[in-house]
Chains A and B, each alone.
Chain A
Amino acid sequence: MSVMTRPVGPERARPPAGTPAVRISHVSKAFRLPHQRYSTLKERVLHPFQARTYDVLQAVNDVNLDVMPGEFFGIVGRNGSGKSTLLKCIAGIYNIDCGELTVRGRLSPFIELGVGFNMDLTARDNVMINAIMLGLTRKQARERFDEIIAFAQLEDFLDLRLKNYSSGMSVRLAFSVAIQVEAEILLIDEVLAVGDASFQQKCLDEFERLKRAGRTILFVTHDMGTIERFCDRAILLEKGRTVMIGGPTEVARRYNALNFGATVHRLTDGAGVTSRGATGPVSIVDGWFEDPDGARVAALASNEPCRACMEVRFNERLRDPIFGFTLRNEVGTTIFATTTDHGHGATGSFEPGQTTIVRLGFENWLTPSRYMLTPSIARHGTGADALDLRENIASVVIHGGPFTGGVVNLPHSFQFLSR
């Protein structure tokens, strides 16, 4: 599959020069969440002077952002980080509290596909209704009808009610209508959540086409793969605030660090690890992953060289102990295991009180997932006399790169030999 050999392109973090298509400066949006909902008149009548107390949820907090014409811009963040609210503010669905929001160019009025689809009507009716809802005139909608149906490949199901469509089919229909809307700036919220693989591929192809056509697209997603594949730049939001704006890879890495970072520390502190060496001849006191610069990391991009480390304290004098590293994925399958016995040979002699860091560098062929590190130490010999082992002492999230379904992404090439 060609998608597997995607070359890692140069970072496209620098915004093109010119006037921004969307300029967001100091935009904030808060929602009031009443403590006690005074939604009935009776309560209002009985307690007319009681102050209404409410929590203010600052959904978007002082966000500054310029999106240039033709940019494919990703908006990412965890659930409740304000990314959809920001999109709705840009779309003019929510009013902003303060700040300034300028949009230059025709803005698509919708942020989700298939809005206004009616399950009881036929595909034919729904296409017309949806097209008009999204801003086409009746005439335009009629003219493009055939094209819409052809793209969705639903010619044979035109007069079927939508409730009899599979979810994939209705998404196909929705997407086909949506791309007919002649907007220079498209706002899209979680478009790829549904649909079968072939349709998703089609959507992605369509994105490529839109991108080549120079449309400006603002795109909300959880999928870092899509971000890295399509976006020129992205913004990462957390609790309504901007964490960073930058290139897709950096943002994806930061997103993963936000998402999984906490987990790593908990694992490291965890006391429930298997250990017999606390008072033994040697003990593993720490374990971690680091990047090629030696910084401890919780997440790494696919293909980025990686190192697994353990810190060991010796309580006895030991000669040529065997250090082992095991990497397991989330379901517990051992992806990779090695020991110094296999790859290094004699490790030397260690004195009591000595502390050593053992570092294992490896080519990062891992596919996106979470990986656990289990370091171990055994006495010189067959390796059967284990001295210490710390189960899942650290974890790393590998992100980016295509999701292939395999556990590793081996470097590879294709050849075609004619006979």
Chain B
Amino acid sequence: MSSDAAARHVAPSALGDDARRFFNLTLTLARTDFKLRYFGSVLGYLWSLVRPLLLFGVLYLVFSVVFHAGRGVKHYPVYLLTSIILWTFFMETTGGCVQCLLAREGLLRKIRFPRLVIPMSVGLTALFNLGMNFIVVLGFALATGVEPRLTWFEVPLLVLIIAALALGTGMLLSVLYVRFRDVQPIWDVASQVLFYISPIIYTAMTYPSSVLRIAMINPIATILTQMNHAFINPGTPSAASYIGSPVRLLAPLGIIAAVGALGLWFFGREAPRIAENL
């Protein structure tokens, strides 16, 4: 903004007009969250590696050793861990977004800044954690015989897709929560349902063939299945072959695009009034 040009009053908006400031703010808020998470603990940042390691140990024992889940699935522990960290990312983003605007009320009421920074920073914090978790999973995968392949380049793309879904949902939830406080319990229950209908503790192979194609419309199922194909075991069918044809993949991808666009539109619409509606 040039200092001598007359500037029309700028109403509070979702994106703002300064990309650099948007980025700086998002990063700063995310960093702060990250700093605070393990603040005051002896291990400090090490916890972001140690915690998933310990958690995975428990999951592995419970599902593989005790329940013999995923018997006959090659690299099942790696699949379980990969699905869990992606699901954790999704939940951290969406669950964190629900109350994020209320939690930042102080900022919203006192500073002019692009409103979208707040849900974005929630997503970024979750992405930090996903990165940390992924380092652990990668180590575990290599140790248990998963071989590096060119298809690993699909992984960032898949993360990007699940991030779009998570942020779209998060944006919707965050502004809806400002109006209706019921969003919190509703999302608590809805996400539980989503957890069990998605192939997280089981694989897509478990779906009965009668519901397979419908179940695969669930974007989470598509992403996790493709993740298995690209990252862990090229022997498993890809998401496209599970759902029937590559064209049918447009259904889950369409849902993701729709949720993302709806979230962005709705957030942008509500942005000017967030501060006063809180």
- Where the two chains meet, the residues of A that have a C-beta atom closer than 8 Å to any C-beta of B are 19, 31, 39-42, 44, 88, 90-96, 100-107, 109-112, 115-116, 118, 120-121, 125, 128-129, 132-135, 137-138, 184
Contacts and interface: CB of A to CB of B under 8 A. Distances in A.
B25 A132 contact: yes
B9 A100 contact: yes
B32 A134 contact: no
8 contacts: A42-B182, A92-B9, A101-B9, A110-B110, A116-B106, A116-B111, A132-B28, A135-B21
A20 to B, nearest CB: 10
Interface in B91-122: 106-113
A133 B111 contact: yes
A5 to B, nearest CB: 38
Interface of B: 1, 3-12, 20-21, 24-25, 28, 32, 35-36, 39-40, 106-113, 179-182, 186, 272-273, 275-276
Contacts of A110: 110-112
Contacts of A125: 32, 35
Given A102-B9, A109-B113, A93 B275 contact: yes
Contacts of A118: 32, 36
Given A116-B106, A134-B111, 15 more contacts: A39-B179, A39-B180, A39-B181, A42-B182, A92-B10, A102-B9, A104-B5, A110-B112, A121-B32, A132-B24, A132-B25, A133-B111, A137-B20, A137-B24, A184-B3
Contacts of A39: 179-181
Given A42-B182, A92-B10, A129 B32 contact: yes
Nearest to A44: B180
Nearest to B20: A137
B112 A92 contact: yes
A133 B12 contact: no
A95 B272 contact: yes
B32 A111 contact: no
Contacts of B273: 95
A31 B4 CA distance: 33
Contacts, number: 102
A46 to B, nearest CB: 13
A209 to B, nearest CB: 20
A116 B107 contact: yes
Given A93-B12, A94-B276, A102-B8, A109 B28 contact: no
A104 B2 CA distance: 9
A103 B9 contact: yes
Contacts of A88: 109, 275
A62 B1 CA distance: 28
A104 B112 contact: no
B111 A109 contact: yes
Given A93-B275, A105-B3, A133 B107 contact: yes
A88 B275 CA distance: 10
A171 to B, nearest CB: 15
A11 B85 CA distance: 68
A184 B6 CA distance: 13
A39 B176 CA distance: 11
B18 to A, nearest CB: 9
B33 to A, nearest CB: 10
A129 B180 CA distance: 31
A94 B275 contact: yes
A120 B80 CA distance: 36
Which of B5, B8, B11 has most chain A Cβ within 10 Å?
B11
Given A93-B112, A95-B273, A102 B6 contact: yes
Pairs A-B, 4 closest by C-beta atoms: A101-B9, A95-B272, A92-B112, A109-B112
A95 B12 contact: yes
A109 B25 CA distance: 13
A96 B273 CA distance: 10
Q: By CB atoms of chain A within 10 A, which of B40, B111, B182, B275 has the most?
A: B111
Contacts of B113: 109, 133
Nearest to B179: A39
Contacts of B28: 128-129, 132-133
Contacts of A120: 36, 39-40
A48 B175 CA distance: 20
A103 B7 contact: yes
Nearest to B276: A94
A173 B6 CA distance: 33
B182 A41 contact: yes
Contacts of B21: 135
Contacts of B10: 92, 103
B36 A91 contact: no
A129 B272 CA distance: 24
Contacts of A112: 110
Contacts of B182: 40-42
B110 A40 contact: no
Nearest to A130: B28
Contacts of B108: 93
A104 B110 contact: no
Contacts of B112: 91-93, 107, 109-110
A93 B110 contact: yes
B110 A92 contact: no
A94 to B, nearest CB: 6
Contacts of B4: 104-105
A323 to B, nearest CB: 56
A93 B9 CA distance: 11
A92 B108 CA distance: 11
Nearest to A45: B182
A111 B110 contact: yes
B111 A115 contact: yes
B12 to A, nearest CB: 6
Nearest to A131: B28
B109 A40 contact: no
Contacts of A133: 25, 28, 107, 111, 113
A153 B275 CA distance: 34
